[in-house]
Structure formats: structure tokens, C-alpha cells
Amino acid sequence: MFIQAIRRYCANHGIAVDVRSSGWLIAMRRDGTHRFAFGYDIGLNSAIAHRLANDKSATAEALALADVPCVPHHLFLNPSMGVHVAGAHWREAMLALLAQHPQGVVVKPNEGTSGRAVFKATNRDELDRAVTEVFSSSLGLVIAPYVEIEDEVRVILLDCRPMIVYRKERPSVVGDGEHTLRELATRAGHDSQLRELTAHEVNAIVPTGEQRILNWRHNLDAGARPVLLEDGEVSAACANLAIDAANAIGITFASIDVVRVEGEWRVLEINSGVMMEALAKLHPELVQATYDAALDRVFEN
Ligand SMILES: Nc1ncnc2c1ncn2[C@@H]1O[C@H](COP(=O)(O)OP(=O)(O)O)[C@@H](O)[C@H]1O
Ligand SMILES: [Mg+2]
């Protein structure tokens, strides 16, 4: 979708395009102007804004310094890099965080995306397992207090202008007092969500009218669905928070995820690559218009 959107823009603006490295690198050329897209990054963000956004702990620290409400993320470096890098007391510090948050913690790669290797831990065993798993493929991990997310909203911003605002609706089923969670989920096409649930959970009959959310994460790649928010109080509150977050790290084009916890909105993460594959399936024109506006900025001078 991303490549297609760039190709379409370039075709309409007399820009030559070369797609290399299986689509990871896109070279765009018009007269003497050369521009690149790399991954989902179209090159509008400064190097430092991109680095801060890609790093969950740096984002949380920068937002906290600017008094922008956010979910705190504590950084731990991989002990395989040596004690002078990771420190000697990382495990004690992790256990202290777990002890401070009886509702649990979330362990994830510091530079992760798409919900990969994101784990919830409520005891030492779960924490150890999550930490081993994340450190097996990442140089840094972050630990955040687990928060009960009532709603997660994504704001796509260009120059502090909200281009798209949508909520992420997690896959769920509603009980009928007759069927098990497994049966309801299978019927709704959500069988892949059942893997992480216990046998007890999937084999229980769901009472009539009760909603069961099948995945605690809001990742679109993991089955959540984007639902556009209409203009109104909620969308304005999310957009304003996202603008404050963008200003705090100086980012131009970004997708910013905000979450409602106990009625208050806070920033969860900032992505400097704007990926809209799932949204494009439902609203292709909106996605094209957003990339068009961003590419206008890329080629404006
Ligand atoms: N601290 C947390 N408390 C509760 N849920 C969380 C927390 N951190 C992440 N999540 C859930 O996990 C999902 C993925 O986490 P996120 O930080 O966005 O990482 P990624 O970059 O992999 O998308 C979020 O959409 C959210 O639903
Ligand atoms: Mg995310």
C-alpha cells in the first residue's frame, strides 16, 4: 500500500521512482531533486526526532520533561553487552518495578513495533520469561506499568495538523449463554486469537450479553480494527495531546498512539514511520490523501 501510494503520487507529479531492496528503499527523482523513502519513513523527520520516536524509553523521558502525560517506560540494556553497559543491578531494579506495580508490568523491546514480543508479567516467573524472550532478539527492553486501557487512539499528524484520527478496536465476542469462547471466536473468524488464552478460558461458556476481549493489545497487525473517530470532543482531546507530544520531540510526520486510562488521555508511543496498511483496506482515499500531503512537503522546494 505504501509503495503503491508513493508510485501514484510520483506518477501524477512527473517524479521518477525506483523501488529497491524488496521495497524497503524507494528512490524518487525530479529534475535535480533526489528524495528517498526508507521503510515507512519518507524523510520529513529530523534524525534526532526519528531516533527519539523509535526509542520507547527516550520518547517517554522526553515527554515527561515537557510535562506531556505519558506511560512511563524504564530502559534496561541487554546484559550480553557487558556489565559496564547494562550495570550490575538490572535484575533487582526489574523486580523492584514489579513490586511497585501489583497490577503487573509490560515488557517489550525498546525499539519494537507491531506488538511483537510484548508481554504482560504479574509475577517473577512471567517477568523472567518475558525478559529472556525480549533479550534474545533485542539490545534494549523497556518495562512499563501495566495500565487498564479503556481506549487506544491513533493520530496521524503532519506539521501539527491531525490528518487522520481513529480508535483501535480489539477483537472481541459477545456471549449467548450457550457457546464456549472457542466456538464464538471461531465463528467470528478470530481463532488465531485463542493461542494466548488458557484452556480454561477458551472452553468456558460465555454468559449472555457478556463481551470478551480476545487480545489485550491494540495492534492492528494482531487483529485490532481501525475505526475512524468523528470530529468531536474525544478526537480533539486526542489530537491536542498528540500535537503536544509531536512538539516535545520536534517531529513533523508521525503516528502517535494515545490511550485513555481511568478517564485520562496519555501518550503510549510515537511512530516516526507512518504505516497505514490496515486503514488503507477500509479508507484508501484518506490514506492516499495523507501520503500525498506528506509528499507535497517532501517536494515543496
Ligand atoms: N503499559 C501498558 N499497559 C497496558 N497495555 C499496554 C502497555 N504497553 C503496551 N500495551 C498494549 O500493547 C500494545 C503494543 O504496545 P506498544 O507500546 O504500542 O508497542 P508496539 O510498538 O509493539 O506497538 C499496545 O497497543 C497496548 O494495547
Ligand atoms: Mg503500538
Asked if residue 118 belongs to a domain, the reply is yes
Does 246 contact ligand 1 (Cβ within 6 A)? no
Asked if residue 91 belongs to a domain, the reply is yes
% of the chain residues with pLDDT over 90: 90
Asked if residue 19 belongs to a domain, the reply is no
Does 130 contact ligand 1 (Cβ within 6 A)? no
91, 198 Cβ separation under 8 angstroms: no
State the distance from the centre of ligand 1 to the C-alpha of 113, rounded, in angstroms.
9
Q: Map grid coordinates 508479567 to a residue.
A: 121
pLDDT, residue 135, reads: 96
At 178, the pLDDT band (50, 70, 90 cuts) reads: very high
State the distance from the centre of ligand 1 to the C-alpha of 109, rounded, in angstroms.
11
Cell numbers placing 300: 515543496
Asked if residue 224 belongs to a domain, the reply is no
Rounded to 5 degrees, φ, ψ at 219 are -70, 135
CATH code of 124's domain: 3.30.1490.20
pLDDT, residue 138, reads: 95
pTM, entire model: 0.95
pLDDT, residue 112, reads: 85
Rounded to 5 degrees, φ, ψ at 129 are -65, -45
Q: Which ligand is nearest to the Cα of residue 116, counting in written order?
A: 1
What domain count does the chain have? 2
From the list 64, 62, 36, the residue with the least C-alpha distance to 250 is: 62
Asked if residue 121 belongs to a domain, the reply is yes
Q: Which ligand is nearest to the Cα of residue 153, counting in written order?
A: 1
298, 35 Cβ separation under 8 angstroms: yes
Q: What is the mean pLDDT of residues 289-294?
A: 97
Per the structure, the complete domain to which residue 175 belongs is given by: 171-214
Q: What is the mean pLDDT of residues 118-134?
A: 97
Rounded to 5 degrees, φ, ψ at 207 are -60, 150
91-123 burial string, b = 16+ CB within 10 Å, else e?
Answer: beebeebbeebeebbbbbbbbbbebebbbbbee
pLDDT, residue 86, reads: 85
Ligand 1 atom showing the smallest separation from residue 271 Cα: 21
State the distance from the centre of ligand 2 to the C-alpha of 268, rounded, in angstroms.
8
Q: Map grid coordinates 484508501 to a residue.
A: 284
Q: Cα–Cα–Cα angle for 49, 54, 59, nearest 5°?
A: 70
Asked if residue 260 belongs to a domain, the reply is no
State which of 214, 229, 248 marks the end of a domain. 214
Ligand 1 atom showing the smallest separation from residue 116 Cα: 22
Cell numbers placing 209: 450479553
Asked if residue 154 belongs to a domain, the reply is no
From the list 257, 297, 219, 295, the residue with the least C-alpha distance to 3 is: 295
